[in-house]
Amino acid sequence: MTIQSILTIESSRKRYVSMNQMIWLTGLSGSGKSTLAEELKNHIENCYILDGDTLRRGINQDLQFSEEDRLEVGRRIGEIGKILLDANLNVIVASISPYRSTRDKVRSLIGDSYKEVYVQCPLEVCEERDPKGLYKQARAGQIKHFTGIDSPYEEPVSPDVIVETDKFSLDECVSKILQHTSAMGSK
């Protein structure tokens, strides 16, 4: 089923967002989280994206990449997301968020409105994509504590949705996410 067919069905039902949601995209660097977030935003009403890279340059600039700091990054994103949900917005989070405990805490904070999407992509493919050149720097020892190289990524145990960005197109992945969330509406 394509995005267009899903949206056509939804538009004909005149279904609108009845409950705001936080769609948390987690996965390795280069897996496609930000790309998915930008495309999802085109299909979800009243939506705001919290992108991990953007937040690192702003509200999280005082944090590094230790486990403790990464946990704090996740906590801050969850709290900001909750504020946005309370303001009647849908929230898309695009963040590596490598630790299950972080994602579990945010799920507890947000409740049923939290939807975890595992943006699954093999490390080799992420390294081939390497849009920011970070994997090359990490392999050369220029970046320490890089997720997937010398810092762990704990895969989700039971995410709400898994999208395999190395096997399916952007449209197919977005369609799958939209099918498994109730955040659809016409935009």
Cβ–Cβ < 8 Å for 24, 93: yes
Q: How far apart are CA 21 and CA 112, in angstroms?
A: 8
Catalytic residue among 95, 97, 113, 175: 97
33 is in an annotated binding site: yes
34 is in an annotated binding site: yes
27 is in an annotated binding site: yes
134 is in an annotated binding site: no
Pairing state between β 161-164 and 114-120: parallel
Active-site residue, 95 included: no
133 is in an annotated binding site: no
Strand partners, 118: 26, 162
28 is in an annotated binding site: yes
**What residues contact residue 129 under an 8 Å CB cut-off, 6+ apart?**
30
Q: How far apart are CA 89 and CA 22, in angstroms?
A: 9
How many residues does this entry show for the chain?
Answer: 187
Task: Give the 3-state secondary structure percentages of the chain, helix then strand then coil, rounded to 5.
Answer: 45, 15, 40
Helices (H), 42-122: 52-57, 67-86, 100-110
Positions at the binding site for ATP: 27-34
Active site residues: 97
